[in-house]
Amino acid sequence: MRVDIRFVGVPVSKAFISVARRRIDTHLSRPDFALVSVTCRLLDANGPGGGDDDKECLIVARGALGEVSVKASKSNAYAAVGLAVHRAHQALARRASKNKQRVRLRRWRESQLPLAAQLAGSTTQ
């Protein structure tokens, strides 16, 4: 899984990079997610104008389950990345669960096809 961390309007911090990478690796590296790449963008929501500084973290995860993008806004950059990673994990787990249900249903339907063919064949003879 390739992890890309970008900063937009926020100074680059090596400590933030290590924390974000560790959280992404621990929460989003389940085998059933099958992620190819994760992009984490940290940006200043208010821009250079005054007011309270809010940090927004946008995470886009691409893989076998499709693309998931989540957004979290907090006053603390570390809290924002933690919340965004948590939301991405929930979304991916929900998709993985639905995918497993679809696979089970498809396998069940395929197992019923020979039985239906036998029943149809026995009534015509």
Domain boundaries, the chain: 2-124
- The pLDDT tens digits of the residues spanning 11-62 come to 898 999 999 999 999 999 888 888 999 999 998 887 766 666 678 888 898 9
> Are the C-beta atoms of 6 and 41 separated by less than 8 Å?
yes
| Whether pLDDT at 123 is above 60 | no
Mean pLDDT of the chain: 85
Domain 2-124 -> CATH class: alpha beta
Q: Give 69's pLDDT tier (boundaries 50, 70, 90).
A: very high
> Could you tell me what percent of the chain has a pLDDT over 70?
88
C-alpha 5 chain-centroid distance: 15
| Whether pLDDT at 4 is above 70 | yes
Helix (H, G, I), strand (E, B) or coil at 10: coil
| Whether pLDDT at 122 is above 80 | no
> Are the C-beta atoms of 70 and 84 separated by less than 8 Å?
yes
* 35-44/66-74 β-pairing: unpaired
- The pLDDT tens digits of the residues spanning 43-52 come to 888 776 666 6
